[in-house]
Structure 1
Amino acid sequence: MSTGRIDPIVARKLLKPVAGRPSKGATIGLLSDSCGAILFAAGLAWTVSALTKGESVWPWLLLMAASGVVRGLSSALALRAGANDARRVKSTLRGRVLSTALARLPGGARTGGGWITAIIDEVEALDGHVTRFLPARFAATAAPLLVLAAAACASLFATLILLGTLIPFVIAMALAGGAAADQSRKQFDALARLSDLFADRLRALPVIIAFDAGDREAGRIGEAAAEVARRTMKVLRVAFLSSASLEFFAALSVALVAVYAGFNLLGLFPLPVPETLTLAEGMFVLALAPEFYAPLRRLAAAYHDRQAAETAITRLEPLLTPVERSAPPAQAAATQAAPAVVLENLTIRHEESDHDAIAGFDLTVGSGEAVALVGPSGSGKSSILHALIGLAPRQGTIRLDGTALDPQADLSSLAGWCGQSTLMLPGTVAENIALARPDASREEVEAIAEKVGLAPMLARRGGLHMAIDPRGSGLSGGERRRLALARALLKEAPILLLDEPTAHLDPDSEAAIIALLRETLPGHTAIIATHSPALAAICPRRIDLQARTLQGARP
Structure 2
Amino acid sequence: MIRLLTRPASRPALPRRPPVSRPAQADVDGSATGDRAAALWLNRLTRVVPRSSAAAQLVAGGLDSAGAIAFAAALALGVTCAPHLRGALLLGLAACALRGAAAVWSARLGAQAARSVKTTLRAALVDRLLRGRPLATAVEQGARGTDPVAVLTTGVESLDGYIARFLPARRVAGLAQLAALAATACASPVAAGIELATLLPFVLLMILAGSAAAAETRRQFQSMARLSNLFADRIANLPLLLGFGAVPHETRRLGLAADALRGRTMAVLRIAFISSAGLEFFAALSVALVAAYCGFSLLHLLPFAAPERLDLARALFVLALAPEVYAPMRRLAAAYHDRQQAMTAAACMDATEPGRDAGPPAPALSGPHLCAPPHLRFRSVGVRYPGEPRPALAGLDFTLPPGGSLALLGPSGSGKSTALGLLVGLPGVHDGRIEIDGTVLEPGASLAASLAWMGSDPLLVEDTLRANLALAAPDASDGRILDVARVAGLDAVLGRPGALDLILDHRGSGLSGGERRRIGLVRALLRAAPLLVLDEPTAHLDAASALALRDVLAGVIRSRRASVLIATHDAELAALADAVVTLEPRS
* TM-score in same-fold range (> 0.5): yes
Counterpart residue type for residue 98 of structure 2: V
How far does residue 410 in structure 1 lie from its aligned partner after superposition? 4.4
Does 2:364 match 1:326?
A: yes
1:282-339 residue CA offsets vs partner (Å, 9 max, x unmatched)? 2222222111111111111112222322333443343553876624533x65664232
Match of 2:291 among 255, 258, 261: 258
How far does residue 445 in structure 1 lie from its aligned partner after superposition? 3.4
How far does residue 57 in structure 1 lie from its aligned partner after superposition? 4.8
CA distance in 2 between counterparts of 1:277 and 1:373 reads 94
Aligned equivalent of 2:558: 519
Aligned equivalent of 1:191: 224
How far does residue 484 in structure 1 lie from its aligned partner after superposition? 1.9
1:57-92 residue CA offsets vs partner (Å, 9 max, x unmatched)? 554455444433433333333323333333333333
Aligned equivalent of 1:88: 116
Tell whether the 8 Å contact from 1:114 to 1:195 is kept in structure 2 after alignment.
Answer: no
Does 2:52 match 1:18?
A: no
Counterpart residue type for residue 165 of structure 2: R
Aligned equivalent of 1:400: 434
Change (3 A) 1:400 1:327: farther
Tell whether the 8 Å contact from 1:387 to 1:394 is kept in structure 2 after alignment.
Answer: no
How far does residue 358 in structure 1 lie from its aligned partner after superposition? 6.2
Change (3 A) 1:216 1:343: farther
Residue 435 of structure 1: SS of its match in structure 2?
coil
CA distance in 1 between counterparts of 2:346 and 2:241 reads 35
CA distance in 2 between counterparts of 1:244 and 1:284 reads 27
CA distance in 1 between counterparts of 2:163 and 2:365 reads 36
Tell whether the 8 Å contact from 1:324 to 1:408 is kept in structure 2 after alignment.
Answer: no
Does 2:582 match 1:543?
A: yes
How far does residue 254 in structure 1 lie from its aligned partner after superposition? 1.7
Length-normalised TM-score, structure 2 = 0.80
Aligned equivalent of 1:417: 453
How far does residue 424 in structure 1 lie from its aligned partner after superposition? 1.7
CA distance in 1 between counterparts of 2:278 and 2:441 reads 60
Match of 2:421 among 363, 387, 398: 387
CA distance in 2 between counterparts of 1:391 and 1:356 reads 22
1:522-543 residue CA offsets vs partner (Å, 9 max, x unmatched)? 8625132123445446452241
CA distance in 2 between counterparts of 1:107 and 1:141 reads 36
Change (3 A) 1:160 1:498: same
Tell whether the 8 Å contact from 2:393 to 2:415 is kept in structure 1 after alignment.
Answer: no
Counterpart residue type for residue 338 of structure 1: H
CA distance in 1 between counterparts of 2:283 and 2:202 reads 7
Match of 2:238 among 205, 222, 225: 205
How far does residue 509 in structure 1 lie from its aligned partner after superposition? 1.4
CA distance in 2 between counterparts of 1:545 and 1:517 reads 27
Does 2:374 match 1:337?
A: yes
CA distance in 2 between counterparts of 1:36 and 1:324 reads 46
Aligned equivalent of 2:10: none
Q: Which stretch shows the higher mean deviation, 241-250 or 435-444?
A: 435-444
Q: What are the equivalent positions in structure 2 for 1:357-506 lying under 5 Å apart?
A: 359-368=392-401, 370-376=405-411, 378-380=412-414, 383-384=417-418, 387-388=421-422, 396-397=430-431, 399-401=433-435, 408-440=444-476, 442=478, 444-455=480-491, 457-462=493-498, 464-503=500-539, 504=541, 505-506=543-544
Q: Which stretch shows the higher mean deviation, 387-396 or 495-504?
A: 387-396
Residue 204 of structure 2: SS of its match in structure 1?
helix
CA distance in 2 between counterparts of 1:414 and 1:188 reads 42
Aligned equivalent of 1:551: none
Change (3 A) 1:215 1:237: same
For structure 1, list consecutive stretches of 5 or more residues without a partner in the other structure: 549-555
Aligned equivalent of 1:346: 383
Change (3 A) 1:521 1:545: farther
Change (3 A) 1:328 1:342: farther
CA distance in 1 between counterparts of 2:558 and 2:134 reads 34
1:242-266 residue CA offsets vs partner (Å, 9 max, x unmatched)? 2233223222322222232223223
Counterpart residue type for residue 377 of structure 2: A
Q: What are the equivalent positions in structure 2 for 1:194-233 lying under 5 Å apart?
A: 194-233=227-266
Aligned equivalent of 1:67: 95
1:451-474 residue CA offsets vs partner (Å, 9 max, x unmatched)? 222245424554555543322233
Q: Which stretch shows the higher mean deviation, 305-314 or 108-117?
A: 108-117
1:208-261 residue CA offsets vs partner (Å, 9 max, x unmatched)? 222222222223333333332222223222322322332232223222222322
Aligned equivalent of 1:290: 323
Residue 527 of structure 1: SS of its match in structure 2?
strand
CA distance in 2 between counterparts of 1:127 and 1:435 reads 32
Aligned equivalent of 2:6: none
How far does residue 190 in structure 1 lie from its aligned partner after superposition? 2.4
CA distance in 2 between counterparts of 1:32 and 1:123 reads 31
Aligned equivalent of 2:153: 120
Q: Which stretch shows the higher mean deviation, 410-419 or 145-154?
A: 410-419
Counterpart residue type for residue 290 of structure 1: P
Aligned equivalent of 1:171: 204
Change (3 A) 1:538 1:9: closer
CA distance in 2 between counterparts of 1:443 and 1:136 reads 57
Residue 123 of structure 1: SS of its match in structure 2?
helix
Tell whether the 8 Å contact from 2:371 to 2:530 is kept in structure 1 after alignment.
Answer: no
Counterpart residue type for residue 140 of structure 1: A
How far does residue 10 in structure 1 lie from its aligned partner after superposition? 1.6
Change (3 A) 1:375 1:211: farther
CA distance in 2 between counterparts of 1:133 and 1:428 reads 42
1:375-431 residue CA offsets vs partner (Å, 9 max, x unmatched)? 44x434664366346697677357320766555444434433222212222334443
Residue 178 of structure 2: SS of its match in structure 1?
helix
Residue 538 of structure 2: SS of its match in structure 1?
coil
Change (3 A) 1:177 1:463: closer
Length-normalised TM-score, structure 1 = 0.84
Aligned Cα RMSD in Å? Answer: 3.6
Change (3 A) 1:259 1:145: same
Residue 450 of structure 1: SS of its match in structure 2?
helix
Counterpart residue type for residue 407 of structure 2: A
Change (3 A) 1:315 1:496: same
How far does residue 441 in structure 1 lie from its aligned partner after superposition? 5.0
CA distance in 2 between counterparts of 1:347 and 1:219 reads 45
Q: Which stretch shows the higher mean deviation, 197-206 or 450-459?
A: 450-459
Residue 470 of structure 2: SS of its match in structure 1?
helix
Counterpart residue type for residue 527 of structure 2: K
CA distance in 2 between counterparts of 1:215 and 1:380 reads 42
Residue 212 of structure 1: SS of its match in structure 2?
coil
